[in-house]
């Protein structure tokens, strides 16, 4: 493994260099980030304290919201700070930590989405066996395995990042540290490391997307044998999941499954899946889910009633 001795810090160019646009970036993404944290934390608290949301689906949704909050936090706060700064400096060690965290929580989100699809498959296609298959112990083990899988994925990414020698300019044409913008600065033959990156992140995104879409096609096909009301409820739940899958994996596949070339839209695509998707997920899951909305209302009523009695 190479030791990087020539570059000790990088300068993030961010989304724009225009002072007026930088202020607009701060306002827009401050709203996005605050909305992301409030929405996901509201889901986390509601599932944690609501007795009606104790099924495996909401157990996995709890961890999806947790992953969303952490995933957005790896990039959004620095983007906000840098939009108000004149010099957007990030040290080499901080950059590597950001790469690790980005892929840890991004990988966790991928695995949780797969678990949610598996849960819906068992619930809809194997309803009689659902209680015995999706037991609490099984769900806990699956989440532990998801964390392990995400950790292994992020470790492989950070190893690739640490193997990049940097000896030239330290200007990263991006708002965060990730393998693609770092690879552009590396003083080495980029073919092999890009191949490794595509075979890791690219294969993870592409294969997971294919598995998820096939599973939901099978689920939707099996709904023909259900009652009208059961079909309507299952269809609403699965539609929410499919929307989230497309919103997350579309940009992810675009970024990680191509040769080491950059496009003008790369930063906006990255913004969409690192900040935009975590912001939209709470709205998608709550607006289309009556159980979550009712649980939130009950929790709000209990909280306000308790406060009024004090």
Total Cβ atoms within 10 A of residue 129: 11
What are the chain's domains? 9-308 (1.20.1070.10)
pLDDT tens column, 222-281: 887 777 777 777 777 788 888 888 989 998 998 888 776 777 788 888 888 899 899 988
Contact between 14 and 79 (Cβ < 8 Å): yes
* pTM greater than 0.85 (yes/no): yes
Residue 299 has pLDDT above 70, yes or no: yes
Most confident of 33-47, 227-241, 281-295: 33-47
Q: Regarding predicted confidence, which is higher, 241 or 103?
A: 103
What is the per-residue pLDDT for 305?
74
**CA nearest neighbour of 268 among 64, 14, 10:** 14
pLDDT tens column, 170-226: 888 889 999 888 888 888 877 888 888 888 888 899 999 999 999 988 888 888 777
With H, G, I as helix, E, B as strand and everything else as coil, classify residue 89.
Answer: strand
What is the per-residue pLDDT for 1?
43
């Amino acid at each position: 493994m190479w030791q990087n001795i020539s570059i000790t810090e990088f300068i993030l160019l961010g989304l724009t260099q225009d002072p007026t646009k930088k202020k607009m970036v701060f306002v827009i993404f401050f709203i996005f980030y605050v909305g992301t944290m409030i929405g996901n934390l509201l889901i986390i608290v509601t599932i944690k304290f609501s007795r009606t949301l104790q099924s495996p689906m909401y157990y996995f949704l709890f961890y999806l919201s947790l992953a969303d909050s952490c995933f957005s936090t790896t990039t959004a706060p620095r983007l906000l700070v840098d939009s108000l700064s004149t010099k957007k400096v990030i040290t080499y060690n901080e950059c590597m930590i950001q790469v690790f965290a980005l892929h840890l929580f991004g990988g966790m989100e991928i695995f949780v989405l797969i678990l949610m699809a598996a849960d819906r498959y068992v619930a809809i296609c194997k309803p009689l066996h659902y209680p015995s298959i999706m037991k609490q112990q099984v769900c806990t083990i699956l989440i532990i395995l998801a964390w392990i899988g995400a950790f292994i994925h992020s470790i492989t990414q950070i190893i690739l990042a640490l193997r990049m020698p940097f000896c030239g300019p330290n200007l990263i044409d991006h708002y965060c540290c990730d393998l693609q913008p770092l690879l552009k600065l590396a003083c080495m033959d980029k073919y092999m490391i890009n191949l490794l990156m595509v075979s890791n992140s690219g294969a993870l995104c592409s294969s997971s997307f294919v598995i998820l879409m096939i599973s939901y096609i099978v689920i939707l096909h099996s709904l023909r044998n259900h009652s009208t009301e059961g079909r309507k409820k299952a269809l609403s739940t699965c539609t929410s999941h499919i929307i989230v899958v497309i919103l997350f994996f579309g940009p992810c596949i675009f970024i990680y499954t191509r040769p080491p070339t950059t496009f003008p839209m790369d930063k906006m695509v990255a913004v969409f899946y690192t900040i935009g998707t975590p912001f939209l997920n709470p709205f998608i899951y709550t607006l289309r889910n009556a159980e979550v909305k009712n649980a939130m209302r009950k929790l709000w009523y209990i909280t306000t009633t308790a406060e009024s009695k004090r």
